[in-house]
Chain A
Amino acid sequence: MAEEIKLMKGNEVVAHAAIRYGVDGYFGYPITPQSEILETLMAEMPWETTGMVVLQAESEVAAINMVYGGAGTGKRVMTSSSSPGVSLKQEGISYIAGAELPCLIVNVMRGGPGLGTIQPSQADYFQTVKGGGHGDYRLITLAPSSVQEMADFVGLGFDLAFKYCNPAIILADGIIGQMMEKVVMPPFRPRKTEEEIIAECPWAVQGKTKNRKANVITSLELDPAKMEENNLRFQAKYRKIEENEVRYEEFQCDDAEYLLVAFGSSARICQKVVEIARGEGIKLGLLRPITLWPFPTKAIAAYADKVKGMLSVELNAGQMVEDIRLAVNGKVKVEHFGRLGGIVFTPDEVLNALKEKLF
């Protein structure tokens, strides 16, 4: 079949990709800059074609708890929001992680803290990869840097979430959500049948049959010895994810003397910085973490002996830079450059910062 190519906003394509992946339910609440996800789903009316449920909940808190309930039945369910809304979802996310359920969350970040601004930001890095909710849990975090990846990561996010029975999150920002680009649409897949779900998700609550024990979905365990066991099981799973699921992309790194590290929209801007710097004879490369957790620690550490310095370029006050510093463990100078509160740096600003901080 010929490729189906469209011109679409990052937000719009998330909606289409969800329908095409065979998602069972979307529960959300509108907030700029990601409202087109819910709008597009409502306009497409997938309940009439695939049977997918699309529901505008009464709040973000309600939406994430609908996801919790749907995930408990083995359905492919998702929610999306932007920074302040994702803060509201944190309790639910922690419960879903604690109950070891798969789901997909999309955060199209805007400037904070508080209600902040609707302009793009990457200041929810800490919230996403270091916790956000309470307890020792991790979110599989995918950072798209193009509209194409917004489409592809819906499927990838669900695949990883179901592989590990763990929530996955797409951490995008207002640029990726609002920008239109050429996108090759993912193929249509049918939704899972009840029989397929029972076969693939033996833990799901599906109505107890006579020949098995009741499945119980909970994050509660009052016996601390058992709760520690649960935690150790989570940690073992997280180590496995760290071993198997790290994804990153290198751009002109082979002969690099300086390295930019950036994710999402910042990585796109940094590609241009590399082009301009190479034009000036500066041997600059870019490493783009695609998974923010698991973080490409080893890949970054491998450059510690090869480059003269690294610059973490983020639309925040310096968050991922901490993970880069942990990765290189003092072996090479690591600096940060960012703009805050919804202001986006230009390629020139990044290049000037590189020269100022590392030359």
Chain B
Amino acid sequence: MKQEIIIAGFGGQGVLSMGKILAYSGLMEGKEVTWMPSYGPEQRGGTANVTVILSDDPISSPILNEYDIAIILNQPSMDKFESKVKPGGILIYDGYGIHTPVKRTDISVYRVDAMDAATEMKNEKAFNMLILGGLLKIVPMVQLENVLLGLKKSLPERHHKLIPMNEAAIKKGMEIIQKM
């Protein structure tokens, strides 16, 4: 079993940290994991993306031609990665940042209105966990308990009090994801 995932959006949306939590969760399940960020002069507002691979077998290339799952959080990322989803693959996007509809008909497309939900929760920082929740609803590649363990591992101890909020956001994300 192998999942090749790209998460792409603006810097500051929590793209890299969402990837990190997913990678840690995979590690907790004993999987092989690779987390390969786009790194560069990117800051809040610039584009950022990360490739996460979870696999039962050793992972070869961290650089991929195409992905099983693309999580798209802004328009430039949609323009760049829509065509890179494998036929039969999955594209998940946040409705807030996207203004052109997905053209592909050979993939499954889902929408999570995470920005709206985060605003409703009065917690912008919940955004990426809402998206992660949506992803895990569609493809339960890791158990929720391992995600929480992964959160514990990836967050410094002083932030562990935020784990219940993150858990709530993941569960909310699972509720609000919809098939397009």
Taking Cβ atoms with an 8 Å cutoff, the residues of A that contact B are 5, 7, 32-33, 118-119, 174-175, 178-182, 265, 268-273, 275, 344-348
Contact = CB atoms under 8 A, between A and B. Distances in A.
A118 B33 CA distance: 24
Given A5-B27, A119-B40, A182-B27, A175 B62 contact: yes
Interface of B: 20, 23-24, 27, 32-37, 39-41, 59-65, 153
A110 to B, nearest CB: 10
Nearest to A346: B65
A322 to B, nearest CB: 25
A175 B40 contact: no
A119 B38 CA distance: 9
B60 A268 contact: yes
A342 to B, nearest CB: 9
A175 B63 contact: yes
Contacts of B41: 118
B61 A347 contact: yes
Contacts of A269: 60-63
B65 A7 contact: no
Contact of B32 (A33, A175, A182, A265): A182
A272 B60 CA distance: 6
Given A181-B34, A271-B61, A348-B65, A7 B40 contact: no
Given A118-B40, A119-B40, A182-B27, A7 B63 contact: no
Contacts of B40: 118-119
A7 B60 contact: no
B39 A118 contact: yes
Given A7-B27, A175-B36, A180 B65 contact: no
B64 A179 contact: no
Q: Among B23, B32, B63, which residue has the most Cβ atoms of chain A within 10 A?
A: B63
A346 B34 contact: no
Nearest to A275: B60
A238 B6 CA distance: 45
Contacts of A181: 32-35, 59
25 contacts: A7-B24, A7-B27, A7-B35, A7-B153, A118-B39, A174-B39, A178-B36, A179-B37, A179-B62, A180-B34, A180-B36, A181-B33, A182-B27, A265-B62, A265-B63, A268-B62, A269-B60, A269-B61, A269-B62, A269-B63, A273-B61, A346-B63, A346-B64, A347-B61, A347-B63
Contacts of B35: 7, 179-181
Nearest to B62: A179
A178 B37 contact: yes
B33 A182 contact: yes
Contacts of B32: 181-182
Nearest to A147: B34
Given A5-B27, A182-B27, 12 more contacts: A7-B20, A7-B23, A7-B153, A32-B39, A118-B41, A119-B40, A178-B36, A179-B36, A182-B32, A268-B61, A271-B61, A275-B60
